[in-house]
């Protein structure tokens, strides 16, 4: 039966707030949020990231305080990224394996203070290398298998420090299976892997690189291992490989420009699927809001809802605390 106007009026259910809430198809809750934090050296440090207004690098003690606040607000998980000082960077990123590096120190401190919040640790070498690449470099080429050999060690060190989720962001082939094997062999069968399964070579990462200190040192680009933004079907192949190698969940990065990929992945595989609302997405919305062109609270909520509508089970977002506060209100 075909319903037509005027018998059918689609505005009718939209006419009042209670009715709109009652028929709403998609919702977002605090349980959907993962809050990324940048960790820096020192004590009592809270250093603003100028390209990400409202975001700061935090010393470990400040990160512990932030984790306590996040837990109080009901945020289930935080993700940690280091701002490594230049003197600790090297050609091979050896600082990644230091059990007392920034991330491992923060993992241990937060887990001791807030044992019930999930901790996600990023696995890649770019925060630790002098060239800013995610892997080992030889004659200008990014070495795949040799890099994986280092990443598995990094993952085990992070698990030992208290990471609940290992998130390889490097996009090397075969790294998920190798990390899963090494974690299991080391007795960390309980530690999850959230694979950056479809990570694109995007122009939206600039502010993040500023935050971790890699922006001015990146030699070349990352197009030989991160995905071509033009490719959709290749993302499904990448995700399938990571699932088959043992990924417990997968991530699409960036978020908003790749809503179609989120939908494709969720429909094709039905696994826990996450979106990363990356630094450039955040910076655009905040900058436009500061100029009076957008209402920050409105576009924040709308953008995060879009990820859920596309099929994401959760979102890594720098808006996590702000959104949690809005939901609490």
Domains of the chain with CATH codes: 28-328 (3.20.20.70)
> What proportion of the chain, given as a percentage, has pLDDT over 70?
99
pTM for this predicted structure = 0.96
**Neighbour tally for 32: CB within 10 Å:** 23
3-state secondary structure of 195: strand
Stretch 177-191: mean pLDDT, rounded? 98
Query: What is the pLDDT at residue 220?
Result: 87
Stretch 297-315: mean pLDDT, rounded? 98
The answer to whether residue 27 scores a pLDDT higher than 70 is yes
The residues near 10 (Cβ < 8 Å, ≥ 6 apart) are none
Are the C-beta atoms of 62 and 45 separated by less than 8 Å? yes
How far is Cα 96 from Cα 258, in angstroms, rounded to an integer? 30
Encoding tokens for residue 240?
Answer: 């399938």
Stretch 260-281: mean pLDDT, rounded? 98
253 is catalytic: yes
Confidence of residue 100 (pLDDT cuts 50, 70, 90): very high
With CA atoms as reference, report the closest residue to 303 among 266, 258, 272: 258
With CA atoms as reference, report the closest residue to 224 among 116, 160, 139: 139
Q: What angle is formed at CA 172 by the lines to CA 169 and CA 177, rounded to 5 degrees?
A: 90
How far is Cα 135 from Cα 128, in angstroms, rounded to an integer? 10
Confidence of residue 216 (pLDDT cuts 50, 70, 90): confident
Query: What is the pLDDT at residue 97?
Result: 98
Choice among 62, 111, 253, 266 that is catalytic: 253
Choice among 62, 111, 199, 222 that is catalytic: 199
The answer to whether residue 61 scores a pLDDT higher than 90 is yes
Confidence of residue 214 (pLDDT cuts 50, 70, 90): confident
Report which secondary-structure segment, H or E, holds 80: strand 77-82
The answer to whether residue 233 scores a pLDDT higher than 80 is yes
């Amino acid at each position: 039966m075909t319903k037509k106007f005027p018998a059918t009026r689609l505005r009718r259910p939209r006419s009042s707030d209670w009715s709109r809430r009652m028929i709403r198809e998609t919702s977002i809750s605090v349980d959907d949020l993962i809050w990324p934090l940048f960790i820096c050296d020192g004590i009592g440090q809270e250093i603003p990231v100028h390209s990400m207004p409202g975001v700061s690098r935090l010393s470990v003690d400040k990160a512990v305080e932030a984790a306590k606040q996040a837990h109080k607000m009901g945020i289930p998980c935080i993700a940690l990224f280091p701002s490594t000082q230049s003197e600790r960077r090297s050609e091979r990123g050896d600082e990644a394996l230091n059990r007392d590096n920034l991330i491992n120190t923060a993992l241990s401190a937060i887990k001791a203070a807030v044992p019930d919040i999930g901790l996600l640790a990023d696995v890649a070498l770019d925060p630790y290398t002098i060239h800013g690449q995610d892997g080992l470099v030889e004659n200008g080429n990014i070495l795949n298998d040799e890099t994986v050999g280092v990443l598995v060690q990094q993952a085990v060190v992070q698990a030992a420090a208290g990471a609940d989720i290992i998130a390889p962001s490097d996009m090397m082939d075969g790294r998920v299976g190798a990390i899963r094997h090494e974690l299991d062999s080391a007795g960390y069968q309980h530690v999850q892997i959230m694979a950056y399964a479809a990570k694109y070579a995007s122009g939206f990462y600039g502010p993040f690189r500023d935050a971790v200190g890699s922006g001015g040192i990146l030699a070349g680009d990352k197009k030989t291992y991160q995905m071509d933004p033009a490719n959709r079907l290749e993302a499904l192949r990448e995700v399938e490989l990571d699932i088959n190698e043992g990924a417990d969940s997968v991530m699409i990065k960036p978020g908003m420009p790749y809503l179609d990929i989120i939908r494709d992945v969720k429909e094709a595989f039905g696994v826990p699927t996450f979106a990363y609302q990356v630094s450039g997405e955040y910076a655009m919305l905040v900058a436009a809001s500061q100029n009076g062109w957008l209402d920050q609270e409105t576009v924040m909520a709308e953008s995060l809802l879009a990820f859920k509508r596309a099929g994401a089970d959760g979102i890594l977002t720098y808006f996590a605390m702000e959104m949690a506060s809005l939901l609490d209100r």
